[in-house]
Amino acid sequence: MFDKLTMAVAAATFLAAVSTGVSAIAADKMAQDKAFQECKAKGGWYQRETGVCEVETSAKMAAMQKDEQECQRMGGRLHGVCEIQTKGKTKSKN
């Protein structure tokens, strides 16, 4: 009789642990989905790995446009770095 009771308690404990784990995963997924939707509504992009919402600010955009104009003035194209084509080679300026 003791063995049946022990097994019943162990099974109930296992099921409760599994149920709690599944609930926690579902709650985390729902929280991430909500954060994604809020970020998207702000015009940003959400990085699920870090849980960070990136939103462009007007100051950041102005700085990026200034960098792009400077690069174009030097005859280059901005792709993260300023790439300038010279006699068959591409130089990168940071």
Predicted confidence at residue 16, as pLDDT, reads: 60
When pLDDT is averaged across residues 10-26 and rounded to a whole number, the result is 66
Q: Residue range 36-61: average pLDDT?
A: 81
Of 60 and 92, the one with more pLDDT = 60
Q: Model-level pTM greater than 0.85?
A: no
List the domain boundaries for the chain: 1-55, 59-94
Q: What is the pLDDT of residues 34-45, one digit of tens each?
A: 888 888 888 887
Euclidean distance between CA atoms 80 and 48, whole angstroms:
23
| Nearest-angstrom CA–CA distance, 91 and 85 | 6
Taking residues 39-53, what's their average pLDDT?
82
If we measure between CA atoms, which residue out of 50, 46, 26, 25 comes closest to residue 36? 46
Q: How far apart are CA 32 and CA 46, in angstroms?
A: 9
More confident residue, 7 or 85: 85
Please give the pLDDT value at position 48. Answer: 77
